[in-house]
Structure 1
Amino acid sequence: MSAVDERRRGYRSRGSRLTRRTQPVLASSAGPLGQPWAAADAGRSQNAPAALADAELVDSGKSWAKCYRRWLRITDAAIVAIAVAAAYAFHFEEGGPVLSRGGAGGSYLAVSIAFVVAWVLALEVHRTREETVLGIGSEEYKRVLDATLGVFGGIAIIVIVAGIDVVRSHFALALPAGALLLLINRWQWRGWLNRQRLFGHYLSKVIVVGEPSDVEYVIRQFGKVSGAAYEVVGAALPAGYTESHVQISAQRVPVLCDVDSVAEKVAETGANAVVVAGRLQGGTRSIRQLGWALEGTRAGLVLASSLTDVAGPRIHWRPVEGLPLMHVELPRFTGGKHTLKRLVDIVASAAALLILSPLLGALAWIIVRDSQGPVFFRQERVGRNGKRFKMVKFRSMVTTAEQDLAALRDLNEGAGLLFKLKNDPRITTCGRWLRKYSLDELPQFWNVLRGDMSLVGPRPQLPCEVEGYEGDVSRRLLIKPGITGLWQINGRSNLGWDESVRWDLYYVENWSLTGDIMILWRTFRVILHPVGAY
């Protein structure tokens, strides 16, 4: 059973509740891209789960990507045109902002048209709609920002050299508004795309090639990603393998052929990528021959790296005399990037404390009225390089919580060294919803402002937890802990100990400002729909 089939079976098992939920999704999603299965679904509106069960309705492979990119081009161009038109209609002259008029209107219009053309071309040149970046990761957003800033940077140089003084409104209005709207547009389309992928639509069909153990590992990793963009249609194993399927948990992946016959199966299955999992028999020569065999199929060749927990921005390719060398940038824990992170922390935490002050006051009043004790709870935590500090939170437990902990140790439901109890009797009435929606953590903005913590980082550790660290776990302490992080947006208390450590270590070595922005955005979504918060 494939991962897509398993998702469909899970949806069908939810009965009538799913039917009500999925009908509008299917109806609304069929429209924009005009897919052939839309008409077929129209006659099954009373039985949406049945529609999900039909494999012929799943639109995967290359066709969806072309249509999806076409709609991205249309909406991107519309946003660019609107942003520049707004700057044209309301631009700045010496006397202040005025509507466009007078003799300068013609030249100003020409400059505005040039802005639109250059901006649209930049989005194309920076490959912001490349299939490999659509729907997953931060690279798509980064390319959109690079294209936008590149256009305005280039035009700024031309303006200075030519002495043109009619484009100030483009920098004041079109740049920030256009960049923001482009990012929102991509985010909206990505959300739509990922919702469709949950139903088995718009997936890239792939065949995984390699030794059985390597193939199983790659397919299992694909299954761990909730928004995975791949549908594994089969495996190609070395000659002599006699089993008809590869069993991975509850998923049965058919063995289509041996490595030498992959190109034929690509044409039969409509796969648009072949993933090479690990080393093939015959080494690099086999990979080269596989690439030649795929030349007439229009399918891509993907090499699964054996490097674990290394993010893409740290990997750079450098060909030397025909030898492709992969450079892995080592993580650095000082320097300009960390200074910029600190500046962002100062500005954002100060703004948050100022803006949220009415809410903080209201929550403090509720806590005082709910139970006896102080408003704030201060607890010693371990920060960067083992430095200890007092972390501030709203009090969500009774004042004797620390003394009562010993009697509850045997009921621990937390992972590893972490103590957690879903129905902890020490939690106050208001403390339950404070913890559920992470409102108890708002005072930690003060710790960020002081420099003890960062907005995004590993989970703040207790001294008793740090004392039990073994092996590489202590690398968590190489950067400041955060109010939020990968641990929070990926399950929080529901994570096992090893998984929690892995997320923290991955962040320590691969963090970026773009990644921090995405984590902060996903944190807002997790707060509204809490998972593992107790």
Structure 2
Amino acid sequence: MRPFSIAATRLTPGSVPRRPVHSEGTQPRWYGPLSVCVDLAGAALPVAAAFVEVHEPHPLRLAAVAALLWPLIRVAGKRYTPSAWGDGGGLRAVVRDWLLLVGALATLRVLCGLHSVPAEAFTALVPALFLSAACHKVIHRHLLASRRDGRALRHVLVVGEGPVIDAVVGQLAQRTDHEYVIVGSCPVGEDDVLSGVPVYVRLPREEPGTPEQDAMTVLGAADELSADIVFVATSPHLSGERLRRLSWALHDRGCPIVVLPGIVEVARRRVRLTSASGLTLLHIAPPLRHGMPALLKEAVDRAGALLLILLLSPLLVLLALAVRLGSPGPAFYRQTRVGRHNKPFPMWKFRTMVVDADRLKSELEAANENDGHMFKMRRDPRVTPLGRVLRRYSLDELPQLFNVLLGHMSLVGPRPPVPEEVVRYNPVEMRRLHVKPGLTGLWQVSGRSDLSWQETVSLDLRYVDNWSPSMDMNVMARTVRAVLNGQGAY
């Protein structure tokens, strides 16, 4: 959790000395020049070499066109902006831009009446794709590291009702990959701010007599705290004309404003802004659970599970023999889990505990180290020596590939719960059962058993509401590192 910049919990206007604006609020200046230089070199040099190789007339001119067109496409797509470098989904943007580059160059050749060239010439554009993607990844990782170290941050003043401010603070504190750090607040009304964020001054719950009063209060707080940006959380007492006039005053002073609609864990691709009769409309697309994307996921799950079973069959046999010979009992453990739409199914694992582990569980309830419905112990006495090794590297989960093949589970999804957990779920937690459980998921690649119950539910709901094929690919790629690391596996 990123600490707040000011330790006080109650401030009054003028009591805080002006804090100089530090350089941590801006990103390093070398991001832009590096990106442009990589794009120019990545397009110009391979294209020139390829056209020389195929004896294309005027190879340097053609390479210059490609070199200039590539950054121009990137500029048009706003790929050199701070928000683009902070976006972890940059690979998709690079691929889209690259396809535009190929199409644009092909169109230009036709319009100029040039003859077709061998395919090798256009393959010279491939380095531009990989170099730009690699450069974006380097910048993105450097930016995340800078934010974790307290640099490249923007100081935020939050305006809203007390409980809403607490919700905003809690949501931002869950992660450190964003650029915002809250330095103060201006609560609306007299509700307490329990999150510990400093209170500069309060706004009246009712609209003041003159619109300038809100503006003077918020601008005074922003100046005293050297805030770079103001977050305004809307409420019945801070919306409509009052919010409009406040935004005017902030913009006239050159202070950016962000309006928080109150929804959380909604992927940006699901959000679309439109307007009608002066109203700003925020459209939120439903999750991808039907149609072609869902059919594609089902096909990838079945085919992927079958392929992995065939490839890993020697390892599965060896592990089954090791478990069978390592301790008394069967090699496999069958347990009832709850799947999509609250439907139970038999889930298979390699046995990692003694045979009567289920009976002994009731005796260990007091030692549960999880703060939610799950039962987890770092030093569970029921786990066998071989079982500890299997759990550390998630090898005990491999038989679940057969559950994926049978359609009970997916390769990626929420953790499959046991029935005694589900009976204690509230309506929010029940939403985890709207999709198939997964062999791996955001829970496994984000810390596994080291996560709190609230963090586990939050990750699962993020997946349920924002699933996409690219998210599955990202989770599966991260699973390899998580398994080798073994963190949180016990």
Q: TM-score, normalised by structure 2?
A: 0.80
**Number of residue pairs the alignment of both structures matches:** 467
What's 1:253 paired with?
198
| Residue in structure 2 matching 1:423, options 379, 385, 402 | 379
**Contact 2:187–2:199 at 8 Å: present in 1 too?**
no
What's 1:442 paired with?
398
Deviations 1:456-493 (A, max 9, x none): 21111224434454435433232211122222234433
Give the 3-state SS of the residue equivalent to 1:166 in structure 2.
coil
What's 1:344 paired with?
300
What's 2:23 paired with?
59
What's 1:231 paired with?
181
What's 1:217 paired with?
167
In the TM superposition, what is the alpha-carbon distance from 1:325 to its structure 2 partner?
A: 1.0
| Residue in structure 2 matching 1:206, options 143, 156, 173 | 156
Give the 3-state SS of the residue equivalent to 1:60 in structure 2.
helix
Counterparts of 1:326 and 1:515, CA distance in 2? 23
Counterparts of 1:493 and 1:196, CA distance in 2? 28
Counterparts of 1:65 and 1:290, CA distance in 2? 32
Name the % identity: 34
- More deviation in 426-435 or 396-405? 396-405
Letter in 1 for 2:55: G
Is the counterpart of residue 101 in structure 1 residue 53 in structure 2?
yes
Shift in alpha-carbon separation, 1:3–1:165, aligned structure 2, 3 A: same
**Contact 2:85–2:139 at 8 Å: present in 1 too?**
no
In the TM superposition, what is the alpha-carbon distance from 1:508 to its structure 2 partner?
A: 1.4
**Contact 1:88–1:170 at 8 Å: present in 2 too?**
no
Counterparts of 2:343 and 2:60, CA distance in 1? 59
Q: Which runs of 5 or more residues in structure 1 are unaligned?
A: 8-54, 92-99
**Contact 1:208–1:234 at 8 Å: present in 2 too?**
yes
Counterparts of 2:194 and 2:116, CA distance in 1? 64
Give the 3-state SS of the residue equivalent to 1:460 in structure 2.
coil
Deviations 1:46-80 (A, max 9, x none): xxxxxxxxx9896322x3265544444444545x3
Give the 3-state SS of the residue equivalent to 2:184 in structure 1.
strand
Counterparts of 1:342 and 1:406, CA distance in 2? 37
Counterparts of 1:412 and 1:458, CA distance in 2? 21
What's 1:191 paired with?
141
What's 2:388 paired with?
432
Shift in alpha-carbon separation, 1:116–1:343, aligned structure 2, 3 A: farther
- Greater helix proportion: 1
Deviations 1:195-239 (A, max 9, x none): 22222111012221223332232223222223232122322345x
- More deviation in 352-361 or 208-217? 352-361
Is the counterpart of residue 396 in structure 1 residue 341 in structure 2?
no
Letter in 2 for 1:103: H
Shift in alpha-carbon separation, 1:282–1:454, aligned structure 2, 3 A: closer
In the TM superposition, what is the alpha-carbon distance from 1:453 to its structure 2 partner?
A: 2.0
Counterparts of 1:404 and 1:464, CA distance in 2? 16
In the TM superposition, what is the alpha-carbon distance from 1:402 to its structure 2 partner?
A: 3.6
Is the counterpart of residue 126 in structure 1 residue 82 in structure 2?
no
In the TM superposition, what is the alpha-carbon distance from 1:497 to its structure 2 partner?
A: 3.9
Deviations 1:152-211 (A, max 9, x none): 355566678978643634665644x55455444333322222222222111012221223
Give the 3-state SS of the residue equivalent to 1:331 in structure 2.
coil
In the TM superposition, what is the alpha-carbon distance from 1:125 to its structure 2 partner?
A: 1.6
Shift in alpha-carbon separation, 1:171–1:459, aligned structure 2, 3 A: farther
Deviations 1:271-313 (A, max 9, x none): 3321112237463223322332233554322111212343322
Counterparts of 1:130 and 1:336, CA distance in 2? 33
What's 1:511 paired with?
467
Deviations 1:129-155 (A, max 9, x none): 43335435x454443333233333555
Letter in 2 for 1:392: W
Shift in alpha-carbon separation, 1:116–1:320, aligned structure 2, 3 A: same
What's 2:3 paired with?
3
**Contact 1:2–1:253 at 8 Å: present in 2 too?**
no
In the TM superposition, what is the alpha-carbon distance from 1:113 to its structure 2 partner?
A: 4.0
Counterparts of 2:267 and 2:241, CA distance in 1? 27
Letter in 2 for 1:168: A
| Residue in structure 2 matching 1:273, options 203, 225, 229 | 229
In the TM superposition, what is the alpha-carbon distance from 1:317 to its structure 2 partner?
A: 0.9
Shift in alpha-carbon separation, 1:293–1:139, aligned structure 2, 3 A: farther
Is the counterpart of residue 288 in structure 1 residue 288 in structure 2?
no
Counterparts of 1:283 and 1:204, CA distance in 2? 25
**Contact 1:2–1:232 at 8 Å: present in 2 too?**
no
- Calculate the aligned-residue CA RMSD, in Å: 3.8
Letter in 1 for 2:234: G
Counterparts of 2:4 and 2:238, CA distance in 1? 33
Letter in 2 for 1:255: Y
Shift in alpha-carbon separation, 1:235–1:371, aligned structure 2, 3 A: same
Q: TM-score, normalised by structure 1?
A: 0.74
In the TM superposition, what is the alpha-carbon distance from 1:321 to its structure 2 partner?
A: 3.0
- What does 1:344-363 correspond to in 2, within 5 Å? 344-353=300-309, 356=312, 360=316, 363=319
* RCO higher in structure (CA 8 A, sep ≥6): 2
Give the 3-state SS of the residue equivalent to 1:279 in structure 2.
coil
**Contact 2:326–2:386 at 8 Å: present in 1 too?**
yes
